Amino acid sequence: MIEGDASGESRRTARRGGASVTVSQVAHAAGVSPMTVSRVVNGDPRVSQATREKVDEVIRDLGYVPNPAARSLASGRQCRIGLLYSNPSASYLSEFLVGALAEAARHDAQIILEQCEAEADAAALVGQLRRHRLDAVLLPPPLCDDPQLVEALVGVGMAVAQVATGRPAEGAHTVCMDDEGAAAAMTARLIALGHRRIGFIGGDPRQASSQLRLTGYRRALAEAGIAMEAALETAGDYSYRSGLASCEALLDLAVPPTAIFAANDDMAAAAVAVTHRRGLDVPRDVSICGFDDTAIATTIWPELTTVRQPVAEMARMATQLLAGAIAGGAEERQAASDESVAFSLIARDSDGPPQRA
């Protein structure tokens, strides 16, 4: 009897830990019904300006925050997004996760990580996903390039977003960057700096991006009227080790290139290491450019001139697409959208004009 409403409140908090404010409390304080509060919170347009302001004020005063569990239970709309990954580089995954999680928080969506081997049986995988009650799936490379997997996922009615894929699938959302254009732009940059012999270190041929980047490189050369030379195109696989070997081969040429463009930063970093070991300076003797703008690009010295692939932004967009698709229901899910993000060239310290021999 010491506190008037203690019994009511203690009863409520008996089960729960936090004494959280509910719609009813807000409604009572604002002199409206809980439904109206709900409408205000959800931005329903059919609420008068006056009411909206009053409710908003009470919400602020009381520090009301909607309970997401109750919300998704009542509305029947929930949002669990699986992120299937196999073995992308740590920095890629990290940036991807940051983007996806940031957007997920805005939609009260949950991101569920799902490790998955590339060779896994698609059917078994789908079963696993259902067991986790996933409504949508985020597919970063290289998984996004597996047509069987994507098809199986779309087949069971899941919203699917392929990020940075080279093989857009029917019914799946895609968020891509113009890899070819970016590679062409970087090559053109080197040409503009005065380079005529530009070596290229290719990526893993099993990933679609590799081909696109090579094509971009060739296109830029062609547009500048520079003859292609097979010896200047070496085959890597996106690993540092392969970059080492490729760069050695390039520098061993009778007439070595004055610039090397690697299809990712790891290989570019390897090229820098090889070049240094040979007593050459970067960029004075050899210009070296990378691709992706991953952590290693700014870790090593000199910092790499590279193409910035906005991974976080792409993950964010993909997540948004999925959240929208889930909220919109089956109809909108059909209208899979293809978004594209802009790349940008990040000029740092690893390239410059060729040495005047």
Partner DNA sequence: CAGCGGCTCGATAGCGCTAACAATCCCGGG
Partner DNA sequence: CCCGGGATTGTTAGCGCTATCGAGCCGCTG
For its own copies, the binding residues (CB under 8 A) are 15-18, 20, 63, 65, 67-70, 72-73, 75-78, 89-91, 93-95, 97-98, 101-102, 105, 110-113, 130-133, 135, 240-241, 244, 266, 269-270, 273, 276-277, 279, 294-296, 299-301, 326, 329-330
Buried b (16+ CB within 10 A) or exposed e, 167-201: ebbebbbbbbbebbbbbbbbbbbbbebebebbbbb
Q: Which is nearer to its own copies, 180 or 266 (CB)?
A: 266
Task: Answer yes or no whether residue 12 interacts with DNA by CB under 7 A.
Answer: yes
Q: Could you tell me the smallest distance in angstroms from the CB atom of residue 39 to DNA?
A: 7
Shortest Cβ distance from residue 326 to DNA (Å)? Answer: 13
Neighbours of 58 (CB within 10 A): 21
Is 34 a residue that touches DNA (CB under 7 A)?
Answer: yes
Tell me which DSSP letter residue 89 carries: -
Residue 199 CA to residue 271 CA, distance in Å, equals: 11
* Residue choice 6, 7, 10, 35 for contact with DNA (CB under 7 A): 35
Kind of pairing between the strands at 287-289 and 344-346 = unpaired
Q: Based on the shown chain and the rule CB under 7 A, indicate whether residue 63 belongs to the binding site for DNA.
A: no
Taking the C-alpha atoms of residue 99 and residue 64, their distance in angstroms, rounded to an integer, is 27
Our CB check for its own copies shows the closer of 191 and 268 to be 268
Taking the chain, what is the end-to-end CA distance rounded to the nearest angstrom? 95
Classify strands 306-308 and 344-346 as parallel, antiparallel or unpaired: antiparallel
The nearest distance, CB 229 to its own copies, in angstroms, is 27
- The residues binding DNA (CB under 7 A) are 12, 14-16, 20, 22-24, 31-36, 38-39, 41-42, 45-48, 50-52, 64, 66-67, 70-71, 73-77
